[in-house]
């Protein structure tokens, strides 16, 4: 428990204080004392100005990139240091980076309501029913995966142009009837609220410190990113080098993504496996390795269009292109698996208990998988799919080329 007279101590020398647009007036008595007694106060230029009446020590505005200030903060460990941040510093704020550098036992955090909380309170939305995302410093296309009929989304904006760009994105995807509510500088003297349908949105005079709320309304033919794996093949741009929908769903099941994991997709092609891996959970990461520049560019376009802009693509041939990559938790090898050292390199880098899945359609590839199966175990599965096609005036089954899949977990 923190006493009302607390300021700072040798253990918790670094105070992270959330500050709103109401500035010093909105801070608690404890927060005000911490700012006033700090020998160093760090924050954005806006934060420092908001707390200017309280600051008596040295000031440091965040440099770019942010981490350049961390060494200077660390050098003041024997002193009381305050970092000012917007709202809740541990909700898409600087708190995460500071805790990774200094440790929670060195930090005292006094948060304010986050922009998400302020927006939800003004709209009467229950936060547990709302998707909360940040578009600040992130690709706008990251919102696509969350666009489903009836969804409510609260998004932190990059700047004042974000709402207009978001309205354009929604309209281009058959969601022009979605309602955008723009909440500017909440809690301060310049706060303002406005609302419009995406198709009718025409505002450009928007404060840089803005949060936008979206109520999604989708046309019947709007492209929706569903929750299960196995997006329609038509949603991917491809040149035929595509793991087809039914095989893709089976492959994602075999890869068994878990939160926070990294996938290597070796032989990226159109990027369908890596993209659908990323769509399973926001914490997942994926690196695609593709030898052909045209296919790498196509995969990048697919990633943006389907709401997975964080896909990292390496243009190069395996195994040489794998040398400097972070060790994966799972690996997919598509398009065949030849005896060229790719498997051996991948297997040596795969983390213990990591999963590897390889798909082949040729007899030569199947023979290679059989050899690896004998050596490393796992399981071999043959997946055969047939679809109904017109046959004259009637219909019949047309089988696709069967796929042999090897699934193995590294000891």
Answer with the one of 215, 249, 280 that is the final residue of a domain.
215
22 and 47: one domain?
Answer: yes
Sheet arrangement for strand 210-215: 131-134, 152-156, 210-215, 179-184, 192-197
Within a domain: 352: yes
200 and 249: one domain?
Answer: no
Answer with the one of 189, 215, 241 that is the final residue of a domain.
215
Answer with the one of 156, 184, 215 that is the final residue of a domain.
215
How far apart, in whole angstroms, are the C-alpha atoms of residue 225 and residue 216?
Answer: 13
202 and 261: one domain?
Answer: no
Encode pLDDT of 354-373 as tens digits. 999 999 999 999 999 999 99
How far apart, in whole angstroms, are the C-alpha atoms of residue 17 and residue 27?
Answer: 9
Pairing of strands 330-333, 355-360: parallel
Which CATH number is 86's domain given? 3.40.1010.10
How far apart, in whole angstroms, are the C-alpha atoms of residue 330 and residue 399?
Answer: 30
How far apart, in whole angstroms, are the C-alpha atoms of residue 373 and residue 360?
Answer: 13
Which residue range(s) make up the domain with 239? 233-409
- Buried residues in 254-273 as b, exposed as e (16+ CB within 10 A): bbebeeebbbbbbbbbbbbb
172 and 194: one domain?
Answer: yes
> Looking at residue 256, what is its pLDDT?
97
Within a domain: 153: yes
Sheet arrangement for strand 403-409: 312-315, 285-290, 262-266, 330-333, 355-360, 403-409, 379-383
Within a domain: 106: yes
Pairing of strands 355-360, 403-409: antiparallel
From residue 85, alpha-carbon distances to 88, 156, 158, 210, 278 in Å are 7, 15, 16, 15, 30
| 67: number of Cβ within 10 Å | 13
261 and 397: one domain?
Answer: yes
Angle at 333 between CA 372 and CA 357, to 5 degrees: 60
Total domain count for the chain? Answer: 3
DSSP per-residue string spanning 125-184:
--GGGSEEEE-TTS-GGGGGGG--TT-EEEEE-SSTTHHHHHHHHHHHTT-TT-EEEEEE
What would the two tokens of residue 344 be? Answer: 């051996």
Angle at 207 between CA 204 and CA 210, to 5 degrees: 105
> Looking at residue 340, what is its pLDDT?
80
284 and 332: one domain?
Answer: yes
Total residue count of the chain as it appears in this document: 411
Residue 18: which of 81, 76, 75, 89 has the closest Cα?
A: 89
Q: Say which residue the tokens 């896909």 belong to.
A: 311
265 and 177: one domain?
Answer: no
372 and 273: one domain?
Answer: yes
Within a domain: 28: yes
Which CATH number is 127's domain given? 3.30.950.10
Which CATH number is 285's domain given? 3.40.50.150
354 and 276: one domain?
Answer: yes
Within a domain: 283: yes
45 and 131: one domain?
Answer: no
DSSP 8-state assignment for residue 374: H
Within a domain: 211: yes
Task: Please list, in sequence order, all residues whose beta carbon lies within 8 angstroms of the beta carbon of residue 174, skipping any fewer than 6 positions away.
Answer: 218, 219, 221, 222, 223
Q: Say which residue the tokens 């796992």 belong to.
A: 378
Within a domain: 100: yes
What would the two tokens of residue 293 be? Answer: 């520049």
**In which residue ranges of the chain is pLDDT below 50?**
1-8
Within a domain: 332: yes
How far apart, in whole angstroms, are the C-alpha atoms of residue 334 and residue 319?
Answer: 14
What would the two tokens of residue 292 be? Answer: 């052909």
Angle at 326 between CA 323 and CA 330, to 5 degrees: 105
How far apart, in whole angstroms, are the C-alpha atoms of residue 17 and residue 21?
Answer: 13
197 and 254: one domain?
Answer: no
277 and 394: one domain?
Answer: yes
> Looking at residue 10, what is its pLDDT?
55
């Amino acid at each position: 428990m923190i006493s009302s007279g607390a300021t700072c101590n040798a253990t918790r020398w670094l105070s992270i204080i959330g500050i709103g647009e109401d500035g010093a007036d909105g801070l608690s008595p404890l927060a005000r004392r911490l700012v006033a007694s700090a020998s160093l106060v760090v924050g954005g230029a806006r934060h420092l100005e908001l707390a200017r009446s309280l600051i008596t020590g040295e000031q440091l505005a965040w440099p770019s990139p942010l981490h350049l200030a961390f060494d200077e903060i660390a050098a003041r460990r024997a002193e009381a240091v305050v970092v000012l941040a917007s709202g809740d510093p541990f909700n898409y704020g600087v708190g995460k980076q500071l805790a990774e550098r200094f440790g929670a036992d060195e930090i005292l955090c006094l948060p304010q309501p986050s922009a998400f909380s302020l927006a939800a309170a003004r709209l009467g939305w229950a936060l547990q029913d709302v998707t909360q995302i940040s578009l600040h410093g992130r690709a706008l296309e990251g919102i696509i995966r969350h666009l489903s009929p009836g969804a409510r989304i609260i998004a932190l904006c990059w700047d004042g142009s974000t709402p207009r760009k978001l309205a354009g994105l929604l309209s281009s995807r058959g969601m022009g009837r979605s309602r955008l509510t723009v909440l500017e500088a909440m809690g301060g003297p310049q706060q303002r609220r406005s609302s419009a349908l995406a198709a009718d949105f025409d505002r450009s005079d928007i404060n840089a410190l803005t949060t936008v709320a979206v109520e999604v309304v989708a046309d019947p033919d709007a492209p929706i990113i569903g929750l299960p794996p196995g997006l329609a093949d038509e949603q991917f741009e491809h040149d035929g080098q595509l793991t087809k929908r039914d095989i893709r769903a089976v492959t994602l099941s075999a890869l068994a993504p878990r939160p926070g994991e990294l996938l290597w997709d070796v032989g990226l092609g159109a990027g369908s496996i890596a993209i659908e891996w990323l769509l399973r959970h926001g914490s997942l990461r994926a690196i695609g390795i593709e030898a052909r520049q045209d296919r790498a560019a196509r995969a990048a376009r697919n990633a943006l269009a389907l709401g997975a802009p964080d896909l990292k693509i390496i243009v190069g041939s395996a195994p040489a292109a794998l040398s400097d990559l972070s060790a994966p938790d799972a690996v997919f090898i598509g398009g065949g698996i030849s005896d060229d050292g790719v498997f051996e390199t991948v297997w040596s880098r795969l983390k213990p208990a990591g999963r590897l899945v390889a798909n082949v359609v040729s007899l030569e590839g199947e023979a290679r998988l059989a050899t690896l199966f004998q050596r490393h175990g796992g399981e071999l599965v043959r997946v055969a799919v047939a679809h109904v096609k017109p046959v004259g005036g009637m219909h019949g089954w047309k089988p696709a080329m069967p796929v042999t899949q090897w699934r193995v977990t590294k000891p």
